[in-house]
Amino acid sequence: MDRRNFLATVASIGTTGIPAASSAAADPEETAAEYYGVLTDVTECIGCRKCEWACNQANHLPMQPLETFEDKSVFEKHRRPDAGHYTIVNEYPGPEEGGRPLWVKFQCFHCNHPACYSACLVTAFTKTATGAVVYNADRCMGCRYCMVACPFQIPAYEYDNPLTPKVQKCTLCYERISQEGGVPACVEICPPQCLTFGKRKDLLELAKQKIAKNPQKYVPHVYGEHEAGGTSWLYISSKPFEEIGLPVLGETAPPRLTEGLQHGIFNYFIPPVALFSILGMISWLYGEQNQDEHLPKVPLKYNPSKAAPMGKKLITPGVLLLLGFIFMGLSVAVYRFLFGIGAVTNLNDQYPWGLWIAVDVATGVALAAGGYTTAALAHIFHRKHYEPIVRPALLTALLGYTFVVFGLLVDLGRYYNIWHPMMPSMWSGHSVLFEVGMCVMAYLTVLYLEFVPIVVERFKGQVNLPGILSRFNGMVEGVLGLAERYLFRILPVIVIAGVVLSFLHQSSLGALMLIAPYKMHPLWYTPILPLLFLLTAFCVGFPMVIFESMIASRIFNQKPEMHILSPLSKSIAIFLAAYFATKLGDITIREAGKYLFDGSVQSYMFMAEMLIGVLIPLGMFLMKGVRKNPGLLFIASALVVIGVAFNRINVFITAYTPVYKVTAYFPSWGEIVVTLGLIAGLMLVYRIMVTVFPIIPTMEEKES
């Protein structure tokens, strides 16, 4: 009996109909021991590449005659599995100089606790009872978070497929091993039988026996026994594994931290409900008693109830410029939908996320924080003095999140599946991205509900639809009346829910990258990254309101609302100082300070982020003269806005280093144009909305 089938017999494979999937996110050691796997003895591989041919045949990949795989020129450079090749063989120098080289086969490692499975928000990946990690394209949204999460950088993507792109990788020949006596195609064809298939526990025993019998031949370690929590694909070698292309990984499975945070925060929904209750209690305690009598009196009075549409000309040179950017962005987006993401971006299997995620999504969500911070200030803490800035901040947040969705649609490979997270059958409670997606959807709904009173104020009693639509006038008036009668009563509950949802997803955005510890630079990778993201959202909330308010005042030829903005800016320094202290303490505790001055691109980007976005504006906001000067206040606020954008770009792009990096990522002109088009679209819609709806309060001369 050959080794190809020896362990299969020992492990008693002869059961037909192995269960399709295991629902457990974290498998105990005894379960992992029963997984099937493959032991690769690197010292016995002859580099024939027949495993590559067999893999292509078994998985219906593009085929070539077997003879073509005898070409040794492919060993001149190291390759990686891609969408058309699930397994590849690379050549490395042997342990003895001038001696026989080593050939190493690479494919999916089928982790015991797979990061791809944990990351996927719609359970497109499944850890089966056989040990194989399999993929269901029908569920997939094409977000590529699985590729970010994988510590071995295995999943590959069809970037040039515009309609049905898939994430491709080795399946451990799941359909074959699920049947009695079945073995993976690569194992079956291997001439020197350097691949051995069987139960993981038996493979480990065999590997350790071989090492014990030939200690001079093997490195005393079985790769995959503990790496990344353990894998089903195991290796033994005569040379240190980092010298034959295998990454150096810790023993902890990457999802352990993210799932621990996720399950802790949503444990029976106690923390969210507790936060909701606390905010509700604060709102009740403050009530109407806090009227801000201590604030200085001003000669102008802003009455939110008398906000009115801005009677300004809609078509201006600035609007035409915005339309130009929008047209260019739409043109590139259409091209992307016709020819695939790869046609307009520099994204690849090494860098599956780029500018669209870092700026259009992550930064967009952060800069919309003014919506919930001002809502909390005015409606939970009942600081009525700040009521005039609530509506503009609400509109900015509403449009910000709406355009985040538009940006996400362009980035998703299977954008038509964006509704999948709403299906309970596809829910994935262990995925941080699932929590982000659900909270963002819920919060966007809350924002639209909060906007309903403005719609009622604008159109109730004035509905006059043209032509044949006039028959619906009564029905529309009735809907507006119902909204005024019932929705207004629960508006405080909706506002508090919005603040809770914002707390959740603003922090969870930071948790997204915790699943990639081996790809993140130490200056940014930290277990408290969710807390840091939440703090930056606090930091940028009021500066973004000031930034937007002053631009709107300039465009509509109004005086800046300094009697509101100046007091509002007092708390910004507190948030910035808290963030800086937390960040400094984190770097000190983790002993990451040694990377600050190592001369790397990351060190310079980190210092620029902290200087521009934190230290300079912190110093400015501490000065009373800056807080009372419109120009300086605008500059200080703009620096915080830029700093937070800088932070998101650094976390999602600068800090991210693939395991097998070949070239650095830089956004393509297509990515930049789409981003500019989205920003221009947001600005144009904002102008239209304030022209149509009562968003910006009117100014009335105070009676003498």
- Does 205 fall in a domain? yes
Same domain, 598 and 574: yes
* Residue pLDDT, tens place only, 338-375: 999 999 999 999 999 999 999 999 999 999 999 999 99
* Residue pLDDT, tens place only, 661-684: 888 899 999 999 999 999 999 999
In the chain, the percentage of residues whose pLDDT exceeds 70 is 92
- Does 276 fall in a domain? yes
Same domain, 64 and 207: yes
At residue 93, the pLDDT reads 94
Same domain, 219 and 307: no
β-pairing, 102-106 vs 88-92, is antiparallel
At residue 5, the pLDDT reads 45
DSSP letter (8 states) at residue 697: P
Least confident among 22-26, 87-91, 116-120, 411-415:
22-26
290: pLDDT confidence band, cut at 50, 70 and 90?
low
Same domain, 432 and 350: yes
- Does 473 fall in a domain? no
Q: Which residue from 579, 534, 333, 541 is spatially nearest to 436, judged by alpha carbons? A: 534
Least confident among 8-22, 112-126, 258-272, 317-331:
8-22
703: pLDDT confidence band, cut at 50, 70 and 90?
very low
Domain carrying residue 53: 3-244
- Does 249 fall in a domain? no
H-run or E-run covering 229: none
Same domain, 229 and 356: no
β-pairing, 195-199 vs 133-135, is unpaired
Same domain, 126 and 149: yes
**Token pair 């930064």: residue:** 363
- Does 485 fall in a domain? yes
Query: Which domain-ending residue is among 204, 223, 244?
Result: 244
Question: In whole numbers, what is the pLDDT of the chain averaged over residues?
Answer: 88
Distance CA 294, CA 385 (A): 11
Same domain, 307 and 196: no
Q: Which residue from 433, 425, 516, 423 is spatially nearest to 21, judged by alpha carbons? A: 425
Least confident among 224-228, 523-527, 537-541, 692-696:
692-696
DSSP letter (8 states) at residue 703: P
Q: What is the mean pLDDT of residues 507-517?
A: 93
At residue 11, the pLDDT reads 34
- Does 435 fall in a domain? yes
β strands within 117-243, DSSP E = 125-127, 133-135, 156-157, 167-168, 195-199, 233-236
What is the helix, strand, coil percentage profile of the chain, to 5? 60, 5, 35
Same domain, 261 and 124: no
Same domain, 502 and 552: yes
- Does 468 fall in a domain? no
At residue 289, the pLDDT reads 55
Distance CA 95, CA 43 (A): 10
Query: Which domain-ending residue is among 188, 221, 244?
Result: 244
CA–CA distances in Å: residue 131 to residues 203, 225, 428: 13, 14, 19
What is the count of structural domains for the chain? 2
At residue 19, the pLDDT reads 35
Residue 384 pLDDT exceeds 90: no
Distance CA 59, CA 465 (A): 59
- Does 466 fall in a domain? no
At residue 462, the pLDDT reads 85
At residue 699, the pLDDT reads 59
Same domain, 274 and 238: no
Q: What is the mean pLDDT of residues 396-403?
A: 94
H-run or E-run covering 250: none
Give the domain CATH number at 595.
1.20.1630.10
At residue 178, the pLDDT reads 87
Give the domain CATH number at 72.
3.30.70.20
Alpha-carbon dihedral 683, 684, 686, 690, rounded to 10 degrees: 140
701: pLDDT confidence band, cut at 50, 70 and 90?
very low
In the chain, the percentage of residues whose pLDDT exceeds 90 is 70
240: pLDDT confidence band, cut at 50, 70 and 90?
very high
Query: Which domain-ending residue is among 196, 222, 244?
Result: 244
* Residue pLDDT, tens place only, 85-140: 999 999 999 988 878 999 999 999 999 999 999 999 999 999 999 999 999 999 99
Same domain, 196 and 220: yes
Q: Find out whether 97 and 214 touch, Cβ atoms under 8 Å.
A: no
Residue 231 pLDDT exceeds 80: yes
Sign of the alpha-carbon dihedral angle for 172, 175, 180, 181: negative
Phi first, then psi: give them for residue 62, nearest 5 degrees: -50, 125
Least confident among 78-87, 123-132, 475-484, 634-643:
475-484
Q: What is the mean pLDDT of residues 546-550?
A: 93
Residue 1 pLDDT exceeds 70: no
Residue type, 207: A
Task: Give per-residue burial for 173-211: e unless 16+ CB within 10 Å, then b.
Answer: bbebbbeeebbbbbbbbbeeebbbbbbbbbbbebbbebb
Same domain, 422 and 568: yes
User: Would you call 62 exposed, middle or buried from its count of C-beta atoms within 10 A (0-12, 13-18, 19+)?
Assistant: exposed
